[in-house]
Structure formats: C-alpha cells, structure tokens
Amino acid sequence: MTTSVVANNNTSFIKKYAQHAPRYTSYPTALKFEPVDNDILSIANKDTLADELSLYIHIPFCNTLCYYCGCNKIVTRHQDKADIYLEYLEKEMIAKQSLSKGKPLASLHLGGGSPSFLTKAQHTHLMYLVKKYFTFAADAERAIELDPRNVDTSYLATLKSLGYTRLSFGLQDTDYKVQQTINRIQSTAHIANLVFEARTLGFNSINLDLIYGLPHQTLETFKTTIAATKAMQPDRISLFSYAHLPERFAAQSKFNDSMLPDAELKALLYNTAVNSFKKIGYEMIGLDHFAKANDTLAIAKNGGVLHRNFQGYTTHGNSDLLGIGVSSISTIGNAFAQNPKELKAYYARIDEKQHTATIGLSLTKDDLIRRDVISSLMCNLHVNKTAIEKKHHIVFDDYFEDALDALSSLVDDGLIALNDESIHVPEHARIYIRAICARFDAYLNTDEIVSRYSKAI
C-alpha cells in the first residue's frame, strides 16, 4: 500500500474538488474588505489585541516583470524611486507609532515586489528607520524575500550585517523553457552558490520558493527542479500553486490555457514534490510548506502553535501584524486594514495626513469563530470542537450544521473524518484542504463570486 500524500486521489476526485477557492491566508479574505472612513486599526477591540507585534514592509519595485506574478509590483529601472518610497515609509511609521507603543517587535518581514531591488545603502537606511521607530525583541526574526538575479555574495553580507536572520530565494522552476515563458531566466548554479554563501555567513534559515502549475511544466522537468532543490538542502521549502487569473493580472494573458498543466497533472506535480521532500526528512507544514525538523516552523507545527497570515505560515501566532507600504495589510486585534494598492494614492494619503488604509474590515463574532476553525484546518488539518466551543461559547455541531452537511460528500469520499470531538483531514487529503475550508466560509457560501479566486487544485 503506497503512503503517497495523495494516495486516494483519482481523476474524479480532482475534477470534483478543484473548484475555485481562497488560499485562506486570512478569514475573511481580502476580497471581502470594504471602504473605510475611519482609522479602523486604532478602534480595534482592545480585548482582541496581542501583546507583541510583527512588522511587514512591502517593497513594490521590480527590475523586470515575471509574467506569472500576482503580487502588487511596479516595474522600473529608476533606483531613485526607492529613495522617495523610503521617505514615505518613514512618514507612515511615524503616523502608526501609537499602534506599536510598548510592544516588542517579534518579527520583521520584507516582501514585494522585490526587496532586492533596494541597493545596499537603501537597505541600511531602511533598517535604521525600523530600529528608530520600533524595538526588536531579543529573539526577533528578520526575514527578507530575494530575487536571486539581483543578488551577489556582497549583498548577502550586507543583509547579514543589518541583522537579517532568514532569507527566501525565488527559485520557482529550473527548466529553461518554463523560465523563458514566464520571463524569468535565471541560473540554478548561481542560486545554489547564494544558498551556500548564506549558510556560510550564518543565516538561521534559508527558504526556496517553488511554483507548480506553470506553463510548459511536465512531470519530468519538475522532477529536475525538485532534484535541484534537494541538492541545495534549504531549511524550508515553499511549494506554491500557480494561480491563473488573467482577468486580474494582465501579464498572465500571455499564457494560453493549452500551455498550463491541467488539474490532474498539477496534482501529480504536487504529489511528486511532497513525497520526494518527505522522503529525505522534510516535515510537511500545512498545505504548501516544508521544513527540516529543527527549523522553528516545524517546531511550531509539532507544538500546535503554527499560525497563518498574509505572508503564509508563521511561528508568530500571538502577534498583531502591522503592514507598512503600498498595498500592505495589517491585522490588529479584530480589524483588517489595507493601504492603497497604487503608489500615487498611497503617497497622497500620507501627504494629506490621512490614515493610510482605504479598505478593511472589523471582524464580527461569527468571523472570529470561523477564522479559528479555518486557521486550525489550514495549519493542523484538524479542529478540536471542544476547544472552539469553550473559547466562543457555542455548540459546535449546531453552529456549523450547514457546513457539516456540506462536508458529507468529502466524508463519503474518505477525504475528511468527523466525530463528536473533532474534524480531521487525513494526510492523503491534504491537497483538498482549500476546498474543505470553503465549506466553513460564510461569504463564499452566500454572495462571493468564486471565479475571483484561483482553482483549489
């Protein structure tokens, strides 16, 4: 009997459950955010506030456009744009000091766009600003996403001197035809050298990002990417599903549907990667991450304290999240708030001394209950009904009667197990977790247009 993570998958299951569904980096999802007229973060329910803070800073600039990318980015060759942007980041930090007052900074995460667009001098200035307006906890994690095409060993040395502890390199795929199609040609040998140098410099954790479902990917070519990843021995691996939404991201229209793997092949690519990484000792984290057993992400998973936010899986479940920069999202207590997605609008709000968030959401009691259930499924493949009942003062089976009824077909297909105490997703059904979580999504089940989300498989 095979122990494949998706051993029970078959073509009919894949077709049946490959519907559009959110990635659930939050609940409710960002697509449910509404226009806000007030400073929604400052009036968040004080009983829901955390004791520590995580800081996310969005660097939107990229030198070139990767056609698959769905991130908020600005493609430019003008380095001085980053200098102007840093000035506005400081202004926003000043404006949001009240949200961080007295709270240690448990983690810093730079994403994009591409944070490696910044020069070494610009990075030095940015870290100066962070230290000026925030106080790092003694064991704070400082993470940064890097486009390896813009990085050399000297750049890594500067990041280490600035205190960064974790690096994430975008490997994506090593096949030249795939790289050419997505407009991201890069040297695998160069990336391997960067990983080696980062380890030599003493970074605590190194992550590699992979994407499955890209145009022209085949099982054989993706096996080559998997082999290259294993050879580099990163501490963590992120295995993301390509989200094909050309109506939202114009560059994706360069891909004909015929170029893309179908749902069955995508499941095979996923299955092959998962089994390959697990076979050499990586622990599976949630839906799409892997970590060595001694990595903090694996330790958090095994300790039952894994958390999921807009940056993916994280060890900082007890932190509020403060987002700085264009399009950044904050989660403070029971409130979500997002800055403008366009740079001009972001600058204008700061110049006019307005609160930066233009959309957001104050979570209702129902939102908080469903968020806990969905987060537990996404992180642990398991929900303890009694824990939810005690925390929220509900009778689980009565409260979620409709959702439990909606799970009946998944139960019949052996993809979820229900009993009086718990909901459990077996290992072989991990790939269906987004479809399972969707059954608990009150917005998706009522008025959401599901086609706005990518396919769950």
For residue range 207-265, what is the model confidence (pLDDT) as tens digits? 999 999 999 999 999 999 999 999 999 999 999 999 888 888 899 999 988 999 998 89
Identify the residue whose tokens are 């990586």.
282
Q: What is the DSSP letter of 47?
A: G
Q: Are 22 and 29 in contact (CB under 8 A)?
A: yes
CA 436 to chain centre: 19
Q: How far apart are CA 323 and CA 110, in angstroms?
A: 10
Q: Which residue has the tokens 């001694």?
A: 294
Instruction: Considering only the C-alpha atoms of the chain, give the largest distance between any 2 of them, rounded to a whole number of Å.
Output: 65
Q: Are 199 and 191 in contact (CB under 8 A)?
A: no
H-helix or E-strand spanning residue 436: helix 433-438
**What is the sign of the dihedral through the CA atoms of 85, 86, 89 and 91?**
negative
pLDDT at 136: 95
- DSSP structure class, residue 305: -
Interval 73-86: pLDDT, tens: 999 999 999 999 99
Question: For the chain, how are helix, strand and coil distributed in percent, rounded to 5?
Answer: 40, 20, 35
Give the C-alpha separation, 349 to 342, whole Å: 11
Measured in residues, the chain has a length of: 457
Distance CA 127, CA 119 (A): 12
Tokens 């399009």 sit at which residue?
327
pLDDT of 425 > 70? The answer is yes
Nearest-5° Cα angle at 30, 29 to 32: 75
320 - beta bridge partners?
A: 53
The percent of residues above 70 in pLDDT, for the chain, comes to 92
- Contacts with 377 (C-beta within 8 Å, 6 or more apart), sequence order: 383, 423, 425, 433, 436, 437, 440
Q: For the chain, what is the mean pLDDT?
A: 90
Q: How confident is the model at residue 416 (pLDDT cuts 50, 70, 90)?
A: very high
Lowest-confidence pick of 39-43, 61-65, 67-71, 178-182: 39-43
Cis peptide before 333 (omega within 30 of 0): no
pLDDT for 18 equals: 64
| CA–CA distance, 126 with 53 (Å, rounded to integer) | 18
C-alpha to C-alpha distance for 172 and 377, rounded to whole angstroms: 26
Cis amide linkage into residue 28, ω under 30° from 0 = yes
Please give the share of the chain, as a percent, with pLDDT higher than 90. 71
Q: Are 178 and 216 in contact (CB under 8 A)?
A: yes
Structure tokens at 421: 């105490």
In this structure, of 100-109, 160-169, 372-381, 443-452, the range with the lowest mean pLDDT score is 443-452
Q: Print burial letters for 256-285: b (CB count within 10 Å at least 16), e (below 16).
A: eeeebbbbebbbbbbbbbbbbbbeeebbbb
The pLDDT of residue 454 is 56
CA distances for 86 relative to 93, 128, 239, angstroms:
10, 11, 31
Say which residue the tokens 């600005």 belong to.
74
SS3 of residue 332 by DSSP? strand
Separation between Cα atoms, residue 160 and residue 346, nearest integer Å: 30
Task: Report pLDDT for 440.
Answer: 95
Backbone angles phi, psi at 353, to 5 degrees: 55, 35
Give 294's DSSP letter: T
CA-based end-to-end distance of the chain: 24
How confident is the model at residue 362, as a pLDDT? 92
In the structure, what pLDDT confidence band is assigned to residue 95 with cuts at 50, 70 and 90?
very high
Q: How far apart are CA 206 and CA 193, in angstroms?
A: 13
Q: Please write the tens of the pLDDT for every residue from 8-42.
A: 456 667 667 766 678 888 899 988 999 998 788 88
Q: Which residues fall within 8 angstroms of residue 255, CB to CB, at 6 or more apart?
A: 67, 68, 181, 215, 244, 246
Residue 447: is its pLDDT beyond 60? Answer: no
120-133 vs 80-95: helix crossing angle, rounded to 10: 10
Task: Give the per-residue pLDDT at 63.
Answer: 95
Residue 426: predicted pLDDT = 92
Residue 3: the pLDDT is: 40
The letter for the amino acid at 33 is: F
Give the pLDDT confidence score for residue 455 in this predicted structure. Answer: 60
- Check if the beta carbon of residue 356 is closer than 8 Å to that of residue 346: yes
* Tens-place pLDDT, residues 267-317: 899 999 999 999 999 999 988 899 999 999 999 888 888 888 887 788 876
> The pTM is what?
0.91
Residue 282's SS3 state is: coil
Whether pLDDT at 451 is above 50: no
Region 423-448: mean pLDDT is 84
Q: Which range in 4-13, 36-45, 173-182 is most confidently predicted, on average pLDDT? A: 173-182
336 vs 12, which has greater pLDDT?
336
Q: How confident is the model over 166-176, as a mean pLDDT? A: 97
